[in-house]
A and B are shown apart, each in its own frame.
Chain A
Amino acid sequence: MAYKTIIGLEIHVELLTKTKIFCGCLAEFGREANTNCCPVCLGLPGALPVLNKKVVEYCIRAGLALNCKISNRSRMDRKNYFYPDLVKGYQITQYSNPLCKDGYIKINTKHGEKKIRIKRIHIEEDTGKSIYDGNGNVLLDYNRSGVPLIEIVTYPDMNSPEEARMFLEKLKVILKYIEISDCKMEEGSLRCDININVIDEKTKLKSTITEIKNLNSFKAAVKAMEFEEKRHIELLKHRENTLKETRKWDENKNETVVMRGKETVEDYRYFPEPDLVEIEVDENWIRDIKENLPELPDNRKERFMREYNLPEYDAAVLTSSKELANFFEKTVKINKNPKQVSNWIMGNILRWINASDMDINEMKFTHKDFANLLELINNGKISNNIGKKVLKIMFEEGKNPEAIIEERGLLQISDVSELECIIDRIIEENKQSVEEYKNGKEKVLGFLIGQVMKITKGKANPQLVNRIILEKLKQ
């Protein structure tokens, strides 16, 4: 029996504006609890909101980058519900008239390119934070209250956890490219709610949509979706169905657990926010924002393929983060050998970065040091292998390549007489092997070269060693 999975996402992204959405408090984190608040973001009696224009701009930026239509007229609405971290008893959000509508993101699935449609993007305020102290107390920190968010809602266009992961990765890259959010899921600056169900393709029977919340990494999101997918299919197989409920991912149990039922639909009593006027966005402003939009990942990838003659795979990897792509381009400006730069980045630097879970801009060396190292290799000053060692030291200790080579005496030995001297010694010490070679066992050549490298600690110029040994063996 075949089942089709249907996944839709709702993503909340915290914006990197300097101040909050409706007041002048800083939209930053890490302050002592309840010290970054004012009457407005605390919802004190009498306080009124004033919309931060930057928030509108950032949302339009996101809308343009995600191929949305931008509404010329839009407004804020109130979403009414009681919760201790919600200071006014309502959240100011957008309901019937969001700023951005009808966009999409393209992902590359194994079946080819696929468009995931975006239903809407709207702006809203974040709530405060409830902190459970473990003794049954709920502590409230309102520093986050009023931090600007955009909510991105997709259509249910993803048909596997893998597609959802690809969508999220792509979305994150784009939002980081346009510099509106740092998109750190672990820190909550990107939050993702998943709506998932499955459909039995033969009987057309559908499971009831469940919502998954509380996901703090893409990995957790994928695991949760995989778990739910199986659970839904299993239930359908047994002629049962899922319940309309919200579940959360339990990291320890490695499964989703019920958070709350949804039998009664909450009525948020949306209505237009009377404390704010309509938002008018004129075409000139949209054009300005569009013109100042940085090059987006897809365009940059195509340009990398065109301009640097890179294979699609290389271009995709290198443009998967703005900083990485910048690092590559700055290096190539000096080095002029794009494929070599790409190979070294993908083969070494990226592996180390991923292994140590850091960002490219947190590296201890600059693109100049890196270009310099490649030049040293290309000029025969050091070998490829030594180059790798030097790069690793640069990565770990952050010194420039010349200093490392100097300090550790790693300069390549290209002096023919010095090499002849060493090779004579090796031939002398390995007479039996030389004999074997002469009897046609050509493999021995590699062994002899290895011995030279061992003695020179890898510094001998490999091409020269090869040539001299062959000459000597012919004698």
Chain B
Amino acid sequence: MDLINLTIHELRDLIRNREVSSEEIVRSFLSRIEKLEDKVGSFITLTKEKAIEDARKIDKKIKEDISNLSDLAGIPVGIKDNIVTEGIKTTCGSRILKNFIPPYDATVVKRLKLSDAIIIGKTNMDEFAMGSSTENSAFKITKNPWDLNKVPGGSSGGSAAAVSASLVPYALGSSTGGSIRQPAAFCGIVGLKPTYGLVSRYGLVAFASSFDQIGPLTKDVEDCAIVLNSIIGFDKKDSTSVDNGNIDYTKALMKDIRGIKVALPKEYFDDKVDNRIKEKVLDAVKVLEKLGAKIDYVSLPFSEYALATYYILAPSEASSNLARFDGVRYGERVENYNSVEELIVKTRTKMFGDEVKRRIMIGTYFLSSSHYSKYYKKAQQMRTLIIRDFERVFRDFDIIISPTTPTLPYEIGEKKLVSMYFSDVLTVSANIVGIPAITLPCGYIDGLPVGMQILGKIFGEIDILSVAYAYEKNSDFQKRIPEIKEGIKSGV
């Protein structure tokens, strides 16, 4: 049996029926990784021995009793390398944490372990999650499994490519401005950024605290709900964590979508978006309409300021969040220095990559007392206006649908700086507002996947999951599997 192309729920059923052991599953994925990791470059760290050891333990447990088995029991997972794992290197894709081994587990990791999930490795990412292509990793470039010349998106590119290439059945990523949805869309999988506060951030190495949120990258919508079930919940260690009760999102999938009110914001379908992508998304909307959804166009007038707002606030927070990496207590440190100040300056100069330094510098500039009111404060005010924009639309509509990305996956090395920042133009608003958003494949253009984004109200995960699920059941894009080879060079 070819286990590697199965979803979580399919693997779970095999385990429950005792048709396959966890060890067999883990070994299948490990040999798949062995075969393809060099091509795809998804992982920074692999924990093969520990994964097999854990699988054996769980097999023992399964042998004794399957009545209390979690959906994730015995199934491997890849964890983005900015989520701390006790005893396993956590680098954030940065030289400065090249050998950093955290002494504690992030809350989501604790929860996965409680579900008997098996950590198989830590996935590649843009350094400190700053980037939209995973080219900013200090260690390797991750390739898009649909075309190895193309980027997988980012910053959770390692997680997205690993799931897409069936190196793992699912992975965790983190989103600050689109870092789950954009790579999921580029890699043709499902990615969810939950409502801010639904998943604990404790143990997620902060990029921009008021935007960051951990979420699943999976092969289908049902898997997404399964993973969400096990990572949500109030955490007293995270003051911004919210108690939203114990919802079973797999049950929510069945919610009838007839009569659901869908808004299409015209700003998300204008000429900044590739026409072919728009067409695919609108085709998907037609499918939903047939299923009983009520569709209407709306306007989100402040959308044009979303990207600027994000690129002021996120670097501001980042400039402060990354101050702790000074080479004094942990992480890498330069060898020659004559004073503490020199130690800090030289370490940060040498160990941070260009994009990280760029964002620290612009964030420092925005927060400095002479520019604070012109930038940081203004952007905070704009954030409030954007939130109101969405609140207004959500008074009349249940969900918003748009393309996930304005372009198809681009060539490695093709985009830099602002043209790269533009990748986030359709995804940042969900992070600015704190609302949940999911992406799932809705078609292919030139052999490359296209993602449809569904945004919901605060704690509206049920709405977006049920619509995504209904669409998935009525399309077959999710079932396509990449060949993992180089595509035709489009000529850069």
* B172 interfacial by beta-carbon distance below 8 Å: no
Interface string of A24-42 (1 = CB under 8 A from B): 0000000000000001001
* A275 and B239 contact, Cβ closer than 8 Å, known pairs A43-B324, A45-B90, A80-B367: yes
Partner of B202, one of A48, A78, A274: A48
Closest to B201 in A: A48
Residue of A nearest to B363 (CB): A269
User: Bound complex: CA of A271 vs CA of B367, how far in Å?
Assistant: 7
- Minimum CB–CB distance for A142 against chain B, Å: 8
Interface string of A44-57 (1 = CB under 8 A from B): 11111111000000
Tell yes or no: A138 within 8 A of B by CB. yes
Task: Give, as a whole number of angstroms, the nearest-CB distance from A374 to chain B.
Answer: 55
- In chain B between 393 and 437, which residues have their CB closer than 8 angstroms to a CB of chain A? none
Q: Which residue of A lies closest to B316 (CB)?
A: A271
Number of A-B residue pairs having CB atoms within 8 Å of each other in the complex = 103
Q: B106 to chain A: which residues have CB within 8 Å?
A: 46
B343 — nearest CB in chain A belongs to which residue? Answer: A84
* A46-B324 in contact (CB<8A): no
Q: Does any Cβ of B come within 8 Å of A89's Cβ?
A: yes
- For A84, the chain B residues whose CB sits under 8 A away are 326, 328, 340, 344
Q: What chain A residues lie within 8 Å of B372 (beta carbons)?
A: 269, 271
Known: A89-B320, A89-B326. A45 touches B209 (CB 8 A): no
Minimal Cβ-Cβ distance residue in A for B241: A48
The interface-forming segment of B64-72, B96-104, B266-274 is: B96-104
Complex contacts, B368 vs chain A, CB 8 Å: 267, 269
B103: chain A residues within 8 A (beta carbon): 39, 44
With most chain B CB atoms within 10 A of its CB, the pick from A47, A51, A270, A276 is A47
Q: Does A222 contact B (CB under 8 A)?
A: no
Select the residue from A80, A138, A277 with max chain B CB neighbours within 10 A. A80
List the A side residues contacting B297 at CB < 8 Å.
Answer: none
Q: Are A274 and B210 in contact (CB under 8 A)?
A: yes
Minimum CB–CB distance from A275 to chain B (whole Å) comes to: 5
Contacts A267-B368, A269-B368, A271-B372; A88 near B237 (Cβ below 8 A): no
Q: Which of B102, B210, B316, B322 contacts A46 (CB 8 A)?
A: B102
Q: Does B204 contact A (CB under 8 A)?
A: yes
B317 within 8 A of A: yes
Complex Cα gap A80–B364 (Å): 10
Chain A residue numbers with a CB within 8 Å of B281 are none
Selected contact of B364 from candidates A43, A269, A277, CB within 8 Å: A269
Q: Which single residue of chain A is at the shortest CB-CB distance from B341? A: A82
The smallest beta-carbon distance between B365 and chain A, in angstroms, is 10
Known: A45-B100, A269-B368. A78 touches B239 (CB 8 A): no
B205 at the interface (CB under 8 A from A): yes
User: Quick check: is B489 within 8 A (CB to CB) of the other chain?
Assistant: no
Q: Assuming the A-B contacts A45-B84, A45-B100, A271-B372, are A82 and B323 also in contact, with contact meaning beta carbons closer than 8 angstroms in the complex?
A: yes
Chain B residues with CB below 8 A from A274, complex form: 208-210, 240, 317
Instruction: Tell me if B92 is interfacial: C-beta within 8 Å of chain A.
Output: yes
Q: Is the CB of B104 within 8 A of A44?
A: yes
A50 B237 Cβ-Cβ under 8 A: yes
Does chain A have a CB within 8 A of B376?
A: yes
Residues in A neighbouring B83, C-beta threshold 8 A:
46
Question: Considering the complex, which residues of chain B in the window 279-331 have a beta carbon less than 8 Å from any beta carbon of chain A?
Answer: 316-317, 319-320, 322-326, 328-330
CB contacts (< 8 Å) of A88 on chain B: these are 323-324
Given the complex of chains A and B, what is the CA–CA distance between A43 and B237 in angstroms? 14
Whether B236 is near chain A, meaning CB under 8 Å from some CB there, is yes
Report B347 CB to chain A, min CB distance, Å.
11
Closest to B317 in A: A274
CB of B375, distance to nearest CB on chain A (Å): 11
CA distance A78 to B206 in the complex (A): 15
Let me know if A44 and B330 touch, CB within 8 A.
yes
Interface residues of A in 70-99 (CB under 8 A from B): 78, 80, 82, 84, 87-90
The 5 residue pairs across chains A and B that have the minimum distance between CB atoms:
A89-B323, A269-B367, A274-B209, A274-B210, A46-B203
19 contacts across the A-B interface (CB closer than 8 A): A44-B104, A44-B330, A45-B97, A45-B100, A45-B205, A45-B325, A47-B203, A48-B202, A48-B239, A51-B239, A78-B320, A80-B323, A80-B367, A88-B324, A89-B320, A89-B322, A89-B324, A271-B316, A277-B239
Q: A50-B237, A87-B324, A274-B317 are in contact. List 6 more A-B contacts (CB 8 A).
A: A45-B84, A48-B202, A89-B320, A89-B322, A89-B326, A271-B320
Binding site for A on B (CB under 8 A): 82-84, 90, 92, 97, 100, 102-104, 106, 201-206, 208-210, 236-240, 316-317, 319-320, 322-326, 328-330, 340-341, 344, 364, 367-369, 372, 376
